[in-house]
């Protein structure tokens, strides 16, 4: 679970400024909070993927699997803010709520039943707001690791796993004595090519992130208990 201290650290760094809608600093602050809040669930997903991948590596080396995934996780971190902001602002919440220069009831705060760009609108559609954030996070991981995505890092991951397995095989062929227990825990090249697509496939990633967030309703990823709604409403 996300530590409260890390959430509060970002809260204090993003002090609200006057805004007619969630613009500029508000967008940055809200987006950074979402990205930060998903850090722990995403780390858990990558750790779980590495645990499964380790079964394909010599001696079931989890750290080696984590090392293989590290560049991919770094790419996720580098892309996460832009993906999150684009899908929420202006992907769903955008523009001012005013009609003929007048704010509808609940706009900009605290509860505006109009899809626009005010904090009140975010609160009214909060479950949609969280679902967009979850979907963005999920798709960002899938886009990077899925074998069905031609632009993903899957081939590099597969190559690294095959290389690790091949290196261990060469050690055994060229006279290095290996314990029988190690040899028996080494996946063949064909096994790697058959199992790795399932491990890094869309369904497995979806299941892992959904589990971290507590299931379909995402109770562990709404961050109401750590003041996310209050933070959104702190922006005028």
Say what angle helices 62-88 and 39-54 make with each other, to 10 degrees.
140
Q: What is the pLDDT of residue 150?
A: 76
Residue 93 lies in a domain: yes
Residue 4 lies in a domain: no
pLDDT at 15 over 50: no
Residue 39 lies in a domain: yes
% of the chain exceeding 70 in pLDDT: 83
Q: How high does pLDDT run on average in the chain?
A: 86
Contact yes or no for 186/54 (Cβ under 8 A):
no
Contact yes or no for 82/88 (Cβ under 8 A):
no
Q: What is the pLDDT of residue 167?
A: 67
Distance CA(19)–CA(29), nearest Å, equals 13
Residue 2 lies in a domain: no
Return the residue matching tokens 């990823």.
221
Residue 1 lies in a domain: no
Q: What is the pLDDT of residue 174?
A: 44
Q: What is the pLDDT of residue 64?
A: 95
Which residues span the domain enclosing 147?
9-233
For residue 137, name the pLDDT band (cuts at 50, 70, 90): very high
Residue 3 lies in a domain: no
The separation between the first and the last C-alpha atoms of the chain, rounded to the nearest angstrom, is: 30
Q: What is the pLDDT of residue 122?
A: 96
Q: What residues are paired with 99 via a beta bridge?
A: 102
Residue 117 lies in a domain: yes
Query: If DSSP states are collapsed to H, E and C, what string results for the chain?
Result: CCCHHHHHHHHHHCCCCCCCCCCCHHHHHHHHHHHHHCHHHHHHHHHHHHHHHHCCCHHHCHHHHHHHHHHHHHHHHHHHHHHHHHHHCCCCCCCCCCECCECCCCCCCCCCCCCCCCHHHHHHCHHHHHHHHHHHHHHHHHHHHCCCCCCCCHHHHHHHHHHHHHHHHHHHHCCCCCCHHHHCCCCCHHHHHHHHHHHCCHHHHHHHHHHHCCCCCCHHHCCCCCCHHHHHHCCC
Return the residue matching tokens 């003041």.
227
Residue 72 lies in a domain: yes
Q: What is the pLDDT of residue 99?
A: 84
For the stretch 179-233, pLDDT in tens is 544 444 567 889 999 999 999 999 999 999 999 999 999 999 999 999 999 999 9
Contact yes or no for 67/47 (Cβ under 8 A):
no
Say how many domains are in the chain.
Answer: 1
């Amino acid at each position: 679970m996300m530590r409260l201290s890390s959430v509060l650290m970002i809260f204090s760094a993003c002090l609200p400024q006057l805004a007619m809608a969630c613009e500029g600093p508000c967008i940055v602050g809200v987006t950074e909070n979402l990205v930060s809040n998903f850090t722990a669930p995403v780390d858990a997903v990558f750790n779980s993927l590495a645990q499964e991948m380790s079964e394909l590596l010599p001696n079931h080396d989890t750290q080696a699997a984590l090392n293989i995934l590290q560049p991919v996780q770094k790419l996720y971190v580098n892309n996460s803010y832009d993906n999150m902001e684009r899908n929420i602002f202006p992907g769903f919440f955008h523009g001012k709520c005013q009609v003929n220069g007048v704010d509808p009831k609940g706009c900009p705060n605290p509860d505006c039943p109009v899809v626009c760009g005010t904090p009140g609108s975010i609160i009214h559609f909060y479950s949609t707001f969280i679902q967009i954030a979850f979907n963005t996070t999920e798709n960002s991981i899938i886009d990077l690791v899925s074998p069905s995505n031609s632009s993903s890092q899957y081939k590099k991951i597969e190559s690294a796993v095959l290389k690790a397995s091949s290196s261990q095989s060469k050690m055994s062929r060229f006279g290095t004595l290996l314990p029988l227990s190690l040899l028996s825990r080494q996946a063949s090249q064909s096994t790697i090519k058959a199992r790795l697509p399932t491990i890094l496939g869309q369904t497995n990633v979806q299941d892992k992130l959904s589990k971290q967030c507590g299931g379909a309703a995402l109770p562990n990823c709404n961050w109401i208990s750590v003041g996310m709604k209050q933070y959104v409403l702190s922006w005028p």
